[in-house]
Structures are given as C-alpha cells and as structure tokens.
Amino acid sequence: MTPVSLPATVARYLLALVLAFTGVGHLTFARAGFRGQVPAWVPLDTDFVVLASGVVELAFAVALVALPRWRVAVGWLLAAFFVAIFPGNISQFLTHTDSLGLDTDLARGLRLPFQPVLVVVALWSTGAWKWWRSWRRERRAHAARS
C-alpha cells in the first residue's frame, strides 16, 4: 500500500465528510436542487440520476474511510466519478440553470474550477497519484534494463 502523509489523510477524511453530506443531500433535503443540475441530454430519469449519484457519493465516503487496502483504487474511481459528473456542471453554466444557490452566471462559472480541484484531491489524498508516479518510474527502470 502506498503511504500517504498526515495532511493527505486529513484531506481524505474531509473529502469523505463532504461526500457523505452531499450524498445525503441527494437523497433528502437537496434532492430537488440536484434535479436542476442534471442536464436535459442525460437519457435517464432525472430523479433516478440524483438518487443514484447520491448513493454513489455515500459509497465513496464509506470507501475512503473503511477500505484502506483499496485506497488507491478508490482514489482513481472517485477521480473518474468527478470527471464524469463535470459535464453536468458545464451544462448548468451554459444553459443558465439556477440550482442549489447557483443563480448567476458568475456563481455557476466560479464553481467550474473546483471540479478539477476535487479530482486532484481525490488522487493526492488516497496516494493514487504517488502510486502512479512510482509505477511509471518502475516501468521506465524495467524498460531501461531490457
């Protein structure tokens, strides 16, 4: 298992808390607001998308804390999840859709840079980025020996 620093561990736990809060919000108090963030071009029922993404976020929250042996894989999967939902954020900006307090183009636009930050935090806090760099270094060393 790839070791991670104390700041990365703290960030992982904070990320788990944010995901748990957001996941519960998808399923309960913010459900209607999250419906407004599902792009019209998604070919699934809007409420299903909101509920399913809430369940996924809760699962990631648990996995970040409870699955230390799978931490690196969870990091890669969580980063992929953040990338997968980013088009919804872009769509909300482009269609000027008000939802969850994002009721101006400025607010919707300011939110966009935070999605890549979440990707970086997911990779850094789980040691996934460090694992990948180590793996690449080993591959290069192996290729040089061959």
User: Which amino acid is it at 127?
Assistant: G
Tell me the backbone φ, ψ of residue 36, rounded to 5 degrees: -70, -15
Q: What DSSP string describes 25-46?
A: HHHTTTHHHHHTTS-TT--S-H
Phi-psi category of residue 71: left, alpha or beta, with phi > 0 → left and psi -120 to 50 → alpha: alpha
Q: What is the pLDDT along the chain (146 residues), one digit of tens a residue?
A: 667 899 999 999 999 999 999 999 999 999 999 998 899 999 999 999 999 999 999 999 999 999 999 999 999 999 999 999 999 999 999 999 998 889 999 999 999 999 999 999 999 999 999 988 888 888 887 788 87
Domain limits, the chain: 6-145
